[in-house]
């Protein structure tokens, strides 16, 4: 039976390679397992959001539509997965040709053209490349899609720098609807110093929603093209994503989402030096 709850639209941003797709995919799987109708939107030219659901099968993309390989019907570009997660991918041009961000803007326009289909979902998740060198990648905010933004970061300086830039992006006046629900730390090294993470979140004015420790089971699942919930449903890693999914939903439903207060570049690097944060 369809949930009577208000639709939850979540946008996840993070530096390339930080594990943003890992987090987003597992959240989608968790919500689907709980009986929600879930739409997962892959906004990366690598078209890798679907890898844990389709066992290597390539889904149709927005680029395929633009180039005439598929029509403009919602059903033609939607891929239904055995786990119950519906997926759309933007795709992207060949390296050095075209603009990856254009695909994200095309996806948002496509969703605007299909309000009835979009309204049928309980949860919509955008998995967005977060280095933010291109305005196209912030199209989900500009098109008014997101009611809650989450930042994915590791404990390392480059990732924190990108997280601070994402917080800075949400301060732009034309993204008035963008509220930061919090930051999720996807740890690269469980034994690395982590005391600075809470300080960083407090400094930029966002809540820590959760942390995902590095776990070999997550990597094993990825190698098999699965989520950890499908690969090892009784594992600690699977339980941690269940907890994280509840925390993300609570942050979206509550009044805690607020405008961030990002640091300037000089202030950020002073913070890094003060806390002796190093790449590992």
What are 182-236's pLDDT values in tens digits?
A: 999 999 988 878 889 999 999 999 999 999 999 999 999 999 999 999 999 999 9
Task: Check pLDDT > 80 for residue 62.
Answer: yes
pLDDT of residue 2: 46
Active site residues: 15, 20, 46, 131
Nearest 5°: the CA angle 29, 30, 31 is 95
DSSP assignment, residue 164? Answer: H
Span of 54-58, 170-174, 227-231 with lowest mean pLDDT: 170-174
The predicted pLDDT at position 86 comes to 98
pLDDT, position 245: 98
Percent composition of the chain: helix, strand, coil (DSSP 3-state, to 5): 40, 15, 40
Residue 125, pLDDT above cutoff 70: yes
Beta-strand pair 79-80/85-89? antiparallel
Residue identified by tokens 């987090």 is: 23
pLDDT score recorded for residue 4: 47
Contacts of residue 212, Cβ cutoff 8 Å, sequence gap at least 6: 19, 22, 23, 184, 185, 186, 187, 240, 241, 244
Name residues whose C-beta falls within 8 Å of residue 5's C-beta, 6 or more positions apart in sequence. 122
Above 90 in pLDDT, residue 277? no
pTM value?
Answer: 0.91
Least confident of 97-101, 141-145, 275-279: 141-145
Selected residue with higher pLDDT from 91 and 102: 91
For the chain, which domains are there?
8-274 (3.40.50.300)
Q: How many CB atoms lie within 10 A of CB 168?
A: 18
Q: Which two tokens stand for residue 158?
A: 């480059």
Backbone angles phi, psi at 34, to 5 degrees: -85, 10
E-assigned strand segments in the chain: 8-14, 38-43, 79-80, 85-89, 123-129, 148-153, 180-186, 208-212
Given a cut of 70, whether residue 171 has pLDDT beyond it is yes
């Amino acid at each position: 039976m369809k949930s009577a709850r208000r639709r939850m639209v979540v946008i996840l941003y993070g530096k390339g390679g930080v594990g943003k797709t890992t987090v987003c995919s597992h959240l989608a799987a968790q919500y689907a397992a709980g009986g929600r109708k879930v739409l997962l939107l892959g906004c990366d030219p690598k078209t890798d959001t679907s890898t844990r659901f389709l066992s290597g099968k390539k889904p149709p993309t927005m680029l395929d539509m633009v180039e005439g390989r598929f029509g403009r019907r919602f059903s033609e570009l939607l891929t239904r997965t055995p786990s119950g997660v519906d997926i759309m991918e933007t795709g992207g041009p060949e390296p050095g040709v075209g603009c990856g961000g254009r695909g994200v803007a095309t996806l948002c326009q496509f969703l605007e053209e299909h309000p009835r289909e979009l309204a049928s979902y309980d949860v919509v998740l955008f998995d967005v490349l977060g280095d933010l060198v291109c305005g196209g990648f912030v199209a989900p905010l500009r098109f008014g899609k997101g009611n809650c933004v989450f930042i994915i970061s590791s404990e390392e300086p480059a990732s924190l720098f990108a997280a601070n830039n994402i917080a800075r992006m949400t301060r732009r006046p034309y993204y008035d609807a963008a509220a930061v629900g919090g930051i999720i730390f996807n740890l690269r090294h469980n034994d690395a110093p982590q005391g600075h993470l809470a300080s960083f979140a407090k400094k930029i004015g966002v809540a820590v929603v959760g942390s995902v420790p590095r776990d070999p089971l997550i990597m094993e699942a990825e190698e098999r093209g699965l989520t950890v919930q499908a690969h090892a449903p009784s594992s600690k890693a699977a339980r941690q994503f269940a907890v994280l999914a509840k925390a993300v939903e609570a942050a979206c439903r509550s009044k805690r989402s607020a405008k961030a207060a990002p640091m300037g570049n000089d202030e950020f690097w002073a913070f890094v030096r003060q806390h002796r944060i190093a790449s590992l």
